[in-house]
A and B are shown apart, each in its own frame.
Chain A
Amino acid sequence: MSDQTLGAGPKRIDGRLKVTGQATYTADHQLDNKAHAYGVFSTISRGRITGLALEVARNMPGVIEIFHHGNFPALHHTPSSMAGGNKVEETRLPFEDERIYYDGQFVALVVAERFDQARAAAQAVTVRYEEETPRANLEQGLTAHGTREGKGNHSRGNAKQAFESGTHRMEATYTTPVETHNPMEMHATLAHWPNGRLQVFESSQGVVQQKGAMAKIFNLAPHKVEVISTFIGSGFGSKLWMWPHAVAAAAASREIGRPVELVVPRSQMFTTTGHRPETKQTLKLATDEQGRLVALSHHSISNTSCTDQYVETCGSVTKSLYSCDNVSVDHRTTQVNRGTPTSMRAPGAAPGLFALESAVDEMALAAGIDPLTFRLDQFADRDESQDLPFSSNHIRETAERAAERFGWHQRNPKIKSMREGREIIGYGMAACNWEALKRPCDAHVALRADGTVYASCATQDIGTGTYTIVAQTLVELTGVPFERIEVELGDTSYPKGPISGGSWTTATTLPAIAEATRHAIMELKTRAVRSGGPFDGVDVASLNFENGVLSHNGKQMSFAEVLSSMKLANAEGDAHTEGADTSKYSYRSFGTHFVEVRWDPLLANLRVARVVSAIDVGRVMNEKTARNQVEGAIVMGLGMAMFEHTEYDPRTARVVNNNYAEYLVPVHADQPEIDVILLDYPDTAFNEFGARGIGEIGITGLAAAVANAVYHATGIRVRDLPITKERLMAGA
């Protein structure tokens, strides 16, 4: 096996560009005559604009135009359909009317010659409001609006009745706060209208969807819109769907007839580009006398905005992880005055498995059973929610191997029983789980006369390594090494590719790339055997292609030689592959986390010292980038467990900690020892490569594993994230 084929761990092919600053991110693109836009953002969360004082700003140096609801061009709504390729999360257009629905909503847009001029003028705009009492959090939303129906509900058996007749029972409510994605690269749009066409550079996880939405909003034929996202400084879901700033920038560019760049400031990445909503989840579990689960109900409420419906499907995993005859899963929402929530790494499952896997721990303890044994005994062998077999499921092996590596069997189950120096040691575990999805995809591949291989697809590499594994696929099928491979992604002028989300990019894109490669090879062969070709008259089926060389009966020619001999530029292949057939199997990924925490009770100091995780995601396509995804997700899970919490002033619904100093994510000094075991069992029922996707699963369950370890160390059951000092001090 070459060190560049699938399954090996070659370095990223775009790594050098990134570390030398040559990778062009959205705001790096230079266009002649570019103007800069900066938003005026609402400082109230509910009410309406009664006046805008623009005179001072308008007369400031460099100011070109100021847009607001009084002069913004009339645009259209997108139907916001994912299948239609035009989904957005917030359907309301910027500056649509004078209504204010959330803090940080665009109320004006200043366009100026330079960034600093636009910002200074934006700060000089004064807005008068008629303010109404905002709903600042989930509880206030519930009081004011009650709840509305969500989606993704499930029921089998009779969970209520089974709970009541269970021998051991647990019932508890868990909460998770709003989290903000906070990718390093801020959201940015650079839009211009060459020859009546709209070209947009955007930091986007979904150029195809943005193209469709832009076409609908600006009433353009789809081919008149191009969206480009060559490099993305990550997104974690916040860049899946276009947000109002992109519409604002594109409209401003059309109105002033110049390219307009708009970078969303860090503070407003907390307001107008999505968030993981607040959740409140009630779990009710019961077992029989032997500790077998007889009832499992998971009812959750999450916040949505006052303009759109977004449902955090907290119970999505609860339906199928454990074997249980009586299950009830229900999702509801309530409206609050916040920007619209959106998917954040492992939506639904991340908060959902915090609650479920905490509850399972509580249930196991209530039944007097070791939490690992409890789970091993009851992991489902088939997807009982769909009554389908799993395509491939090695969750027990993940649990056993990680437990072995971690040393779970040395755990003294007694609370506060394990000490070292000033610290009490706690061991905790939790399962992790994520759906495996595969979508339709198009791709283009060319074998070129200069000896290079080229592939393109309008999916994106959001930092996960998509460029690299596409190149690996080409290596695998053509034998041509990285140095002679070119991969282009992130541009809607390429064949339609999937959003980079749902952990489905790998499973969706690589089969299309492979199919296009096979088509290109067939095209090469077909040309080569034609009259005048180097293999004139040879039967195509007996023509061999290996390591970039065509051969037959001892005659060998590289594809470059073949193409050159016929004065052909290339042999091309295009492909369309379909999504997964979900009628025969349930496709999911599995894993288990083990966590060691250290608690110094005399300093109220908690740290996570060690994480061992075993993950079953089918075949691992790139050992290095796969491990990197899981390790990164574990660190993000640590942040979820201990730090992350977007705080809203309960009086104003205004974000209080809208910066990297007060919105805490783990720093290097917080990193535990992380040991990731990748099982690497190909899931060939899912796709030809057997890969299921690895971006999200690592964050699921991690917060529960931490909370379970904290309980073991302290005897305090923290059911509200994050696990802060004061929560532990109050419980002590």
Chain B
Amino acid sequence: MRTFELTRPTAIGDALEHHGARDAFIGGGTNLIDLVKLGVMRPEQVVDINGLGLDDIETLDDGRVSIGARVSNADLARDDRIMRDYPVLSQALLSGASTSLRNMATTAGNVMQRTRCPYFRDTAMPCNKRSPGSGCSALTGINRNHAVLGGSEACIAVHPSDMCVAMAAIGGTVVLEGRKGQREVPFADFHLLPERHPEKEHDLHDDEMITHVILDAPQAGAASNYLKLRDRASYEFALASCAAILTLDGDTVSSVRLALGGVATKPWRALDAEAALVGMEATTDSFEHAAVLAFQGAVPQSGNAFKVTLGQQAIVRSLRDAARALKAQGDRS
């Protein structure tokens, strides 16, 4: 392996002290080590955060839930509070990767997960994200797995996370600790659109690290659903996925959160679709209308036009299942 310096701080301050622009934090390493071996990431120093604690899931006084950076995907998915109050997050986590990967992968690592774009992973090919200014190979290449939403002339790489899609739907903040202090960034703003600088993926400074993700307080009376569509039944990144959180007032949509995965350059909140649904009757027609709105700005590429339909189908089915669950609850009570 290419050599790098490994530091193992036991305090956050030390971790930040050590960390610079050419460095990387390591939690579970499931993504970083893979990319280091491919020569895609070449950190000079790797700062191990495993001595820093940050492994608690806590309910805050205001009802929000704080998740430490090091909480593993497996522990988060199986946490009683998460399964009870944020089932969409648990489902999303369990739909991703494999048991062994989920045991290693961390919450902050998943937030920071890099794209699976094959051209990003192939150092012999141009890629603006890996090598700014070199060009985008996917735009005129094999782009079946690429984004139809949020892309740019510079990059159409998909954000691969399932967890982040659920978090985008739930809403929350990413807590950052830096040498100049702490700040909280809304989850929806933490991941950046590629625009002209796909190499800049996060609202995160070189001297900062993620310490927690805080989820908004759970919505009372909501039903939620994470639906992931892919070629095979398991162990594959999404072609399209949808996290839906729905509340009804009778048959009317009183609130809805929709986020999409597999189709966009970042965990994608479908705000127009949500706005159109509120106050509407919870019918397939309404859901289909919302699904169309969610993809109104879609820019399909040569190999992925089907993702528009697939993403719409994911939205409709997610919402129908959530509505059905709510109605079943209503019938029982």
Chain A interface (Cβ < 8 Å from any Cβ of B): 43, 116, 119-120, 123, 602-605, 607, 642-643, 647, 649-652, 654, 656-657, 661-662, 664, 666-670, 724-726, 729-730
Q: Which residue of B lies closest to A41 (CB)?
A: B124
Contacts A/B (CB < 8 Å), 26 sampled: A43-B124, A119-B1, A120-B1, A123-B2, A603-B314, A604-B309, A607-B233, A642-B232, A650-B142, A651-B141, A652-B125, A656-B122, A656-B141, A661-B237, A662-B116, A662-B118, A664-B236, A666-B232, A667-B235, A669-B235, A670-B233, A725-B229, A726-B144, A726-B305, A726-B306, A729-B310
Q: Does B313 contact A (CB under 8 A)?
A: yes
Residues of A within 8 A of B39 (CB): 123
> Which listed residue (B37, B142, B229, B306) contacts A649, Cβ 8 A?
B142
> Would you give the shortest CB distance from A119 to chain B, in whole angstroms?
7
Contacts of B234 in A (CB 8 A): 667-670
Q: Is the CB of B3 within 8 A of A120?
A: yes
B141/A603 in contact, CB under 8 A = no
Q: A649-B141, A730-B306 are in contact. Are A603 and B118 (CB under 8 A)?
A: no
Which of A649, A651, A664 is in CB contact (< 8 Å) with B231? A664
Closest A residue to B306 by beta carbon equals A726
Compute how far the CA of A4 lies from the CA of B305 in the bound complex, rounded to whole angstroms.
57
Q: How far is the CB of A252 from chain B (nearest CB, A)?
A: 21
Interface residue SS majority, chain B:
loop
Contacts of B142 in A (CB 8 A): 647, 649-650, 656
With both chains docked as a complex, state the minimum distance between the C-beta of A236 and any C-beta of chain B, in angstroms.
Answer: 19
Check B236–A725 contact: CB distance below 8 A: no
- B1–A116 touching, CB < 8 Å: yes
Q: Report the bound CA distance from A669 to B140 in whole Å.
A: 34
Identify which of A643, A649, A657 contacts B232 (C-beta below 8 A). A643
Interface size class of B (residues with CB under 8 A): 20 to 34
Contact for B233 among A603, A647, A652, A669, CB less than 8 A:
A669
Query: Which of A119, A123, A669, A729 is the one whose CB lies under 8 Å from B306?
Result: A729
Q: Is B168 an interface residue (CB 8 A)?
A: no
In the complex, the chain A residue whose C-beta lies closest to that of B124 is A43
When C-beta atoms are compared, the residue in chain A nearest to B118 turns out to be: A656
Give the chain B neighbours of A670 by CB distance below 8 A.
Answer: 232-234
Chain A min CB distance to B324 (Å): 12
Return chain B residues, CB-CB under 8 Å to A667. Answer: 232-235
Is B140 within 8 A of A725, CB to CB?
no
| A702 to B316 Cα, complex, angstroms | 33
Q: How far is the CB of A179 from chain B (nearest CB, A)?
A: 15
Out of A123, A607, A729, name the residue touching B309 (CB < 8 Å). Answer: A729
Whether B239 sits at the interface, judged by CB under 8 Å, is yes
Q: Is the CB of A661 within 8 A of B116?
A: yes
Q: B282-322 CB contact bits vs A (8 Å, 1 = yes)?
A: 00000000000000000000000110011001101100000
Q: Can you name the residue of chain B whose Cβ is closest to the Cβ of A728?
A: B306
* Docked-complex contact B124 and A651, CB < 8 angstroms: no
The distance from the CB of A659 to the nearest CB of chain B, in whole angstroms, is: 8
Complex Cα distance, B141 from A602, in Å, reads: 29
Name B residues whose Cβ lies closer than 8 Å to a Cβ of A.
1-3, 37, 39, 116, 118, 122, 124-125, 137, 140-142, 144-145, 229, 231-237, 239, 305-306, 309-310, 313-314, 316-317
Docked-complex contact B231 and A642, CB < 8 angstroms = yes
In the complex the two chains form, what is the Cα distance from A664 to B232 in whole Å?
8
Known pairs A643-B232, A654-B122; A725 contacts B306 (CB<8 A): yes
Which of A43, A123, A602 contacts B317, CB < 8 Å? A602
Specify which chain A residues have a CB less than 8 angstroms from the CB of B125 in the assembled complex.
649, 652, 654
- Other A-B pairs beyond A654-B122, A657-B118, 9, CB < 8 Å: A116-B1, A123-B2, A602-B317, A603-B313, A604-B309, A604-B310, A664-B232, A725-B229, A725-B306
- Bound together, the chains give a CA A478 to CA B273 distance in angstroms of 76
* Top-9 shortest CB links A-B: A43-B124, A669-B233, A669-B234, A726-B306, A116-B1, A656-B118, A656-B142, A670-B233, A667-B235
- Expressed in whole angstroms, the minimum distance between the Cβ of B310 and any Cβ of chain A is 6
Chain B nearest CB from A178 CB (Å) reads 13
Q: Is A725 a contact of B1 with CB atoms below 8 Å?
A: no
CA distance A667 to B236 in the complex (A): 10
Give the residues in chain A near B124, CB-CB below 8 Å. Answer: 43, 654
CA of A69 to CA of B314, assembled, Å: 53
Q: Is the CB of B306 within 8 A of A661?
A: no
Q: Whole-angstrom distance between the alpha carbons of A657 and B61 in the complex?
A: 47
The residue in chain A whose Cβ has the minimal distance to the Cβ of B121 is A659
Q: Which residues of A contact B235 (CB under 8 A)?
A: 667, 669
B140 x A120 contact (CB < 8 A): no
CB distance from A244 to the nearest CB of B (A): 20
List chain A residues, Cβ under 8 A from B145: 662
Q: Are A725 and B239 in contact (CB under 8 A)?
A: yes
CB-CB under 8 A from B314, the residues of chain A are 603
Closest Cβ of chain B to A585, distance in Å, is 42
How many Å lie between the Cα of A552 and that of B3 in the bound state?
A: 75
- CB atoms of B310 and A725 under 8 A apart: yes
Q: Which residue of A lies closest to B313 (CB)?
A: A603
Q: Does the CB pair A661–B231 fall under 8 Å?
A: no
Instruction: Looking at the assembled complex, report how far the CB atom of B104 sits from the nearest CB atom of chain A, in whole angstroms.
Output: 16
Nearest neighbor of A647 in chain B, beta-carbon distance = B142
Note all chain B residues with C-beta closer than 8 A to A661. Answer: 116, 236-237
Nearest Cβ distance between residue A45 and chain B, in whole angstroms? 11
Contacts of A607 in B (CB 8 A): 233
Contact present for B233 and A120 (CB under 8 Å):
no
- Please state if B231 and A643 are interface contacts (CB–CB under 8 Å): yes
**Minimum CB distance partner of B316 in chain A:** A602
Task: Give Cα A725–Cα B239 distance, bound, in whole angstroms.
Answer: 10
The CA-CA distance from A650 to B19 in the complex, in Å, is: 41
C-alpha gap A647/B231 in the complex (Å): 15
- Closest residue on chain A to residue B97 by CB atoms: A661
Q: Which residues of B contact A605 (CB under 8 A)?
A: 229
Q: Which residues of A contact B237 (CB under 8 A)?
A: 661
Q: How far is the CB of B116 from chain A (nearest CB, A)?
A: 7
Instruction: Report yes or no: B317 in contact with A725, Cβ–Cβ below 8 A.
Output: no
A668–B144 CA distance with the chains assembled, in angstroms: 24
Q: What chain B residues lie within 8 Å of A654 (beta carbons)?
A: 122, 124-125
CB A566 to nearest CB in B, in angstroms, measures 58
Query: Cα distance A604–B239 when bound, in Å?
Result: 11
Query: What CA separation (Å) do A123 and B124 show in the bound complex?
Result: 11
Contacts of B236 in A (CB 8 A): 661, 664
Report the minimum CB–CB distance from B322 to chain A (whole Å): 15
On whether the beta carbons of B2 and A604 are closer than 8 Å, the reply is: no
* Chain B residue nearest to A649 in the complex (CB): B141
From B1, B137, B305, B317, A603 is in contact (CB under 8 Å) with: B317
A17 to B: closest C-beta gap in Å: 24
With A and B bound together, what is the CA distance between A647 and B119 in angstroms? 13
Residues in B neighbouring A652, C-beta threshold 8 A: 125
The smallest beta-carbon distance between A139 and chain B, in angstroms, is 15
Complex Cα distance A123/B3, Å?
12
Pick from A120, A643, A661, A664 the residue with the most CB of B within 10 Å: A661
State A725–B144 Cα separation when bound (angstroms).
Answer: 11
Give the nearest-CB partner of B144 in chain A: A726
Q: Which residue of B lies closest to A607 (CB)?
A: B233
Q: A120-B1, A649-B141 are in contact. Are A602 and B313 (CB under 8 A)?
A: yes
B residues near A669, Cβ cutoff 8 Å: 232-235
Nearest to A119 among chain B residues (CB) is B1
In whole angstroms, how far apart are the Cα atoms of A666 and B314 in the complex?
22
